[in-house]
Amino acid sequence: MKVLIIEDEKSLSMALKELLVCEGFLVDAAYNGADGLDYALSGIYDIIILDITLPKMNGIEVLQTIRKNNISSAVLILTAKSETEDKIAGFKSGTDDYLTKPFVTEELIARVWALSRRNTMEYVDETLKYGDIELDRTHHLLKKDGSKIKLSTKEFQLMEMLMLNKDSVLKREYCITKIWGYESDIEYNSTDVYISFLRKKLGALKSKTVIKSVRGVGYSLGEKE
Ligand code: CA
């Protein structure tokens, strides 16, 4: 689960990040509305914690722009007690929950967990299908006919993204940020390494499905000709 914190109070942001990391979330932080919006528009976050009063662009504008761009991340708004009107505006523009400052951090963690559960419940398809293969999302297994192969966490994440984006090209940068996060200094070719592992596993299953490289862009699923 990836969380984005858009909050200009650095000490609060850092404290929240630490807590969420302890809970096992992958966390990025932005300290003003404009940067926060850039991060959010990548579409890689499951949950966005969004402060209302922010430099460069306020939280409501950020939220409205996110929704206009069809980004479906769950959004938890942080408001000050004096911002009741903002709060109402926030709900109108597509927020999922809000918390009034000052809050107890346990309360925030509980809300984030609730939103993360709500998000995973949308994953109704336990199994994804493409061509002659199936991906078991619960057990991270790649299957073809009666055969199956276990995927590592990163292989699974990549395969899942490929299958969810089967009608388009999966961008390399998107894979990297989604799996390793913005702040990682992961080498560009690490994705290629995991793609090659996946290709080997598809080969071992004697699948007709192949992962094609689209030069300079990314990868897409296809069938052996
Ligand atoms: Ca603020």
CA–centroid distance, residue 120 to ligand 1 (Å):
29
Helix (H) or strand (E) holding 121: helix 105-121
Per-residue confidence (pLDDT) for residue 143, from 0 to 100:
96
CA of 107 to the centre of ligand 1 (A): 19
Please state, as a whole number, how many other Cβ atoms lie within 10 Å of the Cβ of residue 38. Answer: 10
b/e 93-124 (16+ beta carbons within 10 angstroms → b): bebbbbbeeeeeeeebbebbeebbeebeeeee
CA–centroid distance, residue 32 to ligand 1 (Å): 9
Neighbours of 172 (CB within 10 A): 19
Using the mean position of ligand 1's atoms as its centre, give its distance from the Cα of residue 8 in Å. Answer: 5
CA of 99 from ligand 1 middle (Å) equals: 13
Cα 51 to averaged position of ligand 1 atoms, centre (Å): 6
In this structure, are strands 170-171 and 141-144 parallel, antiparallel, or unpaired?
unpaired
Question: Mind listing the domains of the chain with CATH numbers?
Answer: 2-123 (3.40.50.2300), 127-223 (1.10.10.10)
Name the E strands within the chain: 2-6, 26-30, 47-51, 74-80, 97-101, 127-130, 133-136, 141-144, 147-150, 170-171, 209-214, 218-223
Query: Do the strands 218-223 and 170-171 form a parallel or antiparallel pair, or are they unpaired?
Result: antiparallel
CA 179 to ligand 1 center in whole angstroms: 29
Residue 73 carries which side chain, given as an amino acid letter? S
pLDDT, one tens digit for every residue, the chain (225 residues): 899 999 999 999 999 999 999 888 899 999 999 999 999 999 889 999 999 889 999 998 999 899 888 888 899 988 876 666 656 665 666 677 888 888 888 889 989 988 887 755 454 567 889 999 999 987 889 999 989 999 998 899 899 989 988 888 998 888 887 777 765 666 666 888 899 999 999 999 999 999 999 988 999 999 987
Q: Per the confidence metrics, is the pTM higher than 0.75?
A: no
User: Which pair of structure tokens corresponds to residue 184?
Assistant: 């990682």
Q: What is the pLDDT of residue 20?
A: 92
**Dist. CA 31 → ligand 1 center (Å):** 9
**What is the per-residue pLDDT for 29?**
96
Sign (positive/negative) of CA torsion 154, 29, 104, 110? negative
- Coil/strand/helix, residue 68: helix
- Rounded to a whole number of angstroms, the distance between the first and last alpha carbons of the chain is 37
The tokens for 100 are 């009034």
